[in-house]
Amino acid sequence: MLIHYSIASFELLERRLTNVEKDDVYDVFLRLGQRMQLTNLPMNFTAWQADRKLHLINDLEYSNYSAALFKQYKKHLGIVRYQLLRGAQTMVVPHIVRRLSGLNTLQLLKPMLFFYKLSEKIKLQQFFKSIILPSKYQHEIKEIDMEPDHLAA
């Protein structure tokens, strides 16, 4: 899931990744899985794609737990942020997940994506984040966006 979302979100916000870049992304997660002592991991991106496809077909279902999770998202995010989340999910999840989760295929958030990308170019991204993201997390959000000291020089 994290591998797919890492690739899909980058491609949505930036550009298509090359096969070599996708292999690199997978390699990072493979090494992480190996450090966690996970076994039977596919050894490359191509093998992972085949394995993932089988898991999506055979192991995925929308359950009461799925419904409860979405209910909690709605409760804690509020209706506007919840709809933004659902719109963002629509743009990055696989088709089968979209169908099982009842996500809207119209992708109403796509036009907003243009303005989000533009906000980065004209240095207004922090302003848009302050509107969209909860105010009680503004400090943490700014911390995440700060360049590490060792890279700033």
Amino acid at 69: L
Please report where in the chains the tokens 């089968």 appear, as a residue: 96
In terms of residue numbers, what domain contains 104?
Answer: 64-152
Q: What is the pLDDT of residues 105-139, one digit of tens each?
A: 666 677 777 777 777 777 777 777 777 777 787 78
pLDDT value of position 152: 57
Domain tally for the chain?
2
Confidence label for 37 from pLDDT (cuts 50, 70 and 90): very high
CA torsion sign for 121, 125, 127, 132 is positive
Are both 24 and 79 inside the same structural domain? no
Name the packing angle between helices 2-13 and 64-92 (round to 10°): 30
128, exposed or middle or buried, with CB in 10 Å at 0-12, 13-18, 19+? Answer: middle
Q: What is the mean pLDDT of the chain?
A: 87
Q: Which of 52-61, 90-99, 105-114, 139-148 has the highest mean pLDDT?
A: 52-61
Shared domain check, 145 and 78:
yes
**Dist CA 71 CA 32 (whole Å):** 31
